[in-house]
């Protein structure tokens, strides 16, 4: 199989993508930690082993030294030549003693205080073993210094500190050397004795250990760490994948779906809960949007159907100019209603999307109420309803006068519309602590309890005697405006109504310069 450049690039891209994945990164972190821990532990064990091998070698040299100094070796003057020589005292017929002496003699150097090897009485050769000759030499000056140090440091009957050295022979074999100074039999002259042992076995053991560490433990730990990490990360991420799959199944058409909670009480459950709540909110606004578009199309269809019907009837049946005029007059009325709806909707959507900026100024609500009461006096009288305004001075708010007037006008025209002849509509305003309270109340037909929570919804009209809207019936948008204007001014609306007795709308707005009130709409009976 031949790899082309494109294939290699693709593989590179896939690997890069995989390495960015959470599972890969978790696994890599876990594996790295695991390897560091395992290798660290094995390395510590190696250091321990190395230390104990070293102690063994040191102990064995110490033992040899004690034997050597205690009984086996004496530096004595040769009776014939008068020169100092090394004498060995042991039973030559005892194989054990012979082995010990031979062992000691393997790596050995005995010199006088000037650093010159003295004669071995037994072999009549210089007391320097072949192995020692092959080691880097202790220079005479060094030996002299050590002897001087020893003599000055050691008090009679007290031993000085031994010197420890490590040396390699020409073939690379490592030796541990213990050197010290001993006196001749009669304490005439100090002698330098260096005794050694091979560390080759220790080195082999440690080298094998390191080999095992790098060839066995390191790759093994990496593989095991990666495998366990991959499995653990996979297990930990399974719920995340489930959540993602469940989330993918949720679309605009099945917003009722929820991600099932795992009841583990962990962070993931919290995420699922948050996600489900978000879907709930989305579902609510989807429902509202659907309802709104259904309402809008219904509202627009009704006058359009009416216009069409009137025009068709006129076309087919009208004979006189008078009849045509009447049909056109009715059609125009419906067209008016249509454009009212469109205008109101446009304004509402501008308001709700924040495009309608408030032009705030200091407004005395009492004065506004009194002005409006005056304006509505004539229609009120026409409907046979008494209209009165009672305003206290100092009802100042920081508000958009045009919007505030629109809000009160909507409430006032509703009150007049739903109050029968002989009834009463009262307007009042009074300053409270940090706020101003505005009341529009009437003695009209009231609103049944089941409808109260919906009256601020768009197109919501409390069903009256008939279902089809009469030409003078409102659009069901007035209170939506009232709610928006109150909210935009950080106000609170409260409605109380008793069917057959009347309705009371109370709007509390922050007084000029005071902090905002918590925005809410409350209804009560
Ligand atoms: P409309 O433009 O139809 O008046 P609104 O949003 O202003 O729409 O009001 C919604 C509904 O609330 C009205 O259709 C009416 O049934 C009811 N309503 C509002 N104000 C009053 C009131 N003062 N008395 C009785 N019913 C009211």
Please give, one letter per residue, the 3-state secondary structure of 341-374: HHHHHHHHHHHHCCCCCCCEEEEEHHHHHHHHHH
Strands, sheet with 502-510, edge to edge from the N-terminal-most edge strand: 386-391, 424-432, 435-442, 502-510, 492-498, 520-524
Residue 380 CA to ligand 1 center (angstroms) comes to 17
Q: Are 501 and 446 in contact (CB under 8 A)?
A: yes
The CATH architecture assigned to 267-340 reads: Orthogonal Bundle (1.10)
- All residue ranges of the chain with pLDDT < 70 are 1-3, 18-19, 154-160, 464-473, 514-525
Taking the C-alpha atoms of residue 138 and residue 128, their distance in angstroms, rounded to an integer, is 12
pLDDT of residue 160: 65
Residue pLDDT, tens place only, 429-480: 999 989 999 999 999 999 999 999 999 988 888 886 444 444 456 778 899 8
What string of DSSP letters covers 174-222?
Answer: EEEEEEEEEE-TTSSSEEEEEEEEE-HHHHHHHHHHHHIIIIIIHHHHH
Residues with CB under 6 Å of ligand 1 are 410, 414-415, 418, 442, 444-447, 455, 460-462, 474-480, 503
pLDDT at residue 207 in the model: 92
> Three-state SS for 431?
strand
CA-CA distance, 226 to 228, in Å (whole number)?
A: 6
Distance CA 418, CA 440 (A): 13
Distance 341 CA to ligand 1 centre (A): 16
Q: What is the pLDDT of residue 469?
A: 44
Closest approach atom of ligand 1 to CA 445: 25
> What pLDDT, on the 0 to 100 scale, is given for residue 72?
84
Q: Which two tokens stand for residue 413?
A: 């025209």
pLDDT of residue 421: 94
On whether the pTM is more than 0.75, the answer is no
Task: Return the CATH architecture of domain 62-203.
Answer: 2-Layer Sandwich (3.30)
Name the CATH topology of 357-521. Heat Shock Protein 90 (3.30.565)
Q: How far, in Å, CA of 489 to CA of 358, rounded? A: 9
Q: Which ligand 1 atom minimizes the distance to the CA of 464?
A: 16
d(CA 238, CA 262): 12
pLDDT recorded at residue 468: 43
Nearest C-alpha neighbor of 519 from the set 396, 444, 435: 435
User: Can you read off the two tokens belonging to residue 89?
Assistant: 């005292």
* Domain parsing of the chain, residue ranges: 2-46+206-247, 62-203, 267-340, 357-521
β-strands 360-364, 396-400: how paired?
Answer: antiparallel
Query: What is the best residue among 406, 410, 415, 461 to mutate for testing ligand 1's pocket, by most ligand atoms within 8 Å of CB?
Result: 461
């Amino acid at each position: 199989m031949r790899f082309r450049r494109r294939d290699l690039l693709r593989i590179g891209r896939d690997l890069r993508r995989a390495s960015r994945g959470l599972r890969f990164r978790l696994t890599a972190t876990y594996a790295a930690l695991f390897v560091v821990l395992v290798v660290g532990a094995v390395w510590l064990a190696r250091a321990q082993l190395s230390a104990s091998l070293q102690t063994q070698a040191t102990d064995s040299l110490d033992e040899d030294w004690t034997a050597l100094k205690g009984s086996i070796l004496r530096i004595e003057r040769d009776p014939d030549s008068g020169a100092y020589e090394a004498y060995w005292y042991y039973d030559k017929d005892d194989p054990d003693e012979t082995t010990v002496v031979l062992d000691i003699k393997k790596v050995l150097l005995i010199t006088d205080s000037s650093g010159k090897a003295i004669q071995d009485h037994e072999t009549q050769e210089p007391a320097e073993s072949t192995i020692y000759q092959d080691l880097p030499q202790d220079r005479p000056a060094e030996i002299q210094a050590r002897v001087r140090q020893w003599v000055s440091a050691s008090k009679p009957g007290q031993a000085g500190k031994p010197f420890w050295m490590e040396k390699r022979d020409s073939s690379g074999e490592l030796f541990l050397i213990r050197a010290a100074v001993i006196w001749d039999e009669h304490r005439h002259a100090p002698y330098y004795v260096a005794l050694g042992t091979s560390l080759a076995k220790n080195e082999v053991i440690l080298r094998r250990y390191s080999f095992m560490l790098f060839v066995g433990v390191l790759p093994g730990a990496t593989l095991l760490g990666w495998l366990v990490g991959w499995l653990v990360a996979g297990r930990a991420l399974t719920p995340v994948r489930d959540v993602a799959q469940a989330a993918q199944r949720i679309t605009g058409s099945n917003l009722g779906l929820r991600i099932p909670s795992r009841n583990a009480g962990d962070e993931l459950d919290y995420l699922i809960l948050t996600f489900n709540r978000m879907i709930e909110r989305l579902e609510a606004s989807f429902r509202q949007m659907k309802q709104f578009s259904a309402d809008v199309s219904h509202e627009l269809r009704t006058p359009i159907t009416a216009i069409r019907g009137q025009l068709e009837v006129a076309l087919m049946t009208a004979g006189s100019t008078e009849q045509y005029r009447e049909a056109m007059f009715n059609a125009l009325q419906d067209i008016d209603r249509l454009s009212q709806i469109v205008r109101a909707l446009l304004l509402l959507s501008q308001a709700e999307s924040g495009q309608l900026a408030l032009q705030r100024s200091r407004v005395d609500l009492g004065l506004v109420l009194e002005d409006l009461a005056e304006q509505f006096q004539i229609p009120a009288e026409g409907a046979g309803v008494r209209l009165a305004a009672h305003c206290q001075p100092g009802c100042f708010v920081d508000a958009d006068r045009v919007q505030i007037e629109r809000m009160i006008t909507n409430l006032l025209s509703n009150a007049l519309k739903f109050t029968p002849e002989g009834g009463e509509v009262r307007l009042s305003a009074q300053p409270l602590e940090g706020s101003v309270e505005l009341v529009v109340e009437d003695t009209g037909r009231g609103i049944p309890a089941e409808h109260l929570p919906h009256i601020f919804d768009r197109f919501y009209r409390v069903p009256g005697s008939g279902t089809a809207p009469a030409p003078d019936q409102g659009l069901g948008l007035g209170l939506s405006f009232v709610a928006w204007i109150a909210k935009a001014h950080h106000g609170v609306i409260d409605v109380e109504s008793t069917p057959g007795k009347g309705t009371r709308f109370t709007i509390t707005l922050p007084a000029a310069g005071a902090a905002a009130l918590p925005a809410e709409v409350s209804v009560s009976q």
